Amino acid sequence: MTVHQLRCPRSSTALTRLRIGGIDTDLCEDCGGLWLDRLELARFQQPESVFGEALVAHLKQFPPTLIDHSIRLACPHHPDVVMLRRKFSLAVPIDIDECPKCGGIWLDSDELAQIRR
């Protein structure tokens, strides 16, 4: 894992890169949030995905934080763009943050686990 220039949209902490299943993910070791570039979520969202299972297990080491979901988040790649807050799907009605410019997705600490149920 290496630290690079992307910053957490919640805490402004530098995100840490974690390569899992051949995909570079970016996580916040402060709040346990996860940044996935466009189309990367599909690799981890299915309950039978071993990579998704490993990523959820890794994220569980970070203590959950109290999150104000009314605060709109800026995209880690495009700090001048406010992400859209939307339902993940009809079957999984949790809210996720998506950048309208690059299609990247920010998941708060427990959202990947909820998506995979």
Q: How many other C-beta atoms are found inside a 10 Å radius of the C-beta of residue 50?
A: 10
Number of domains composing the chain: 1
* The one-letter amino acid at 89: S
What range does the domain containing 14 cover?
2-116
pLDDT digits (tens, 9 = 90+) for 7-58: 999 999 999 999 999 999 999 999 999 999 999 999 999 999 999 999 999 9
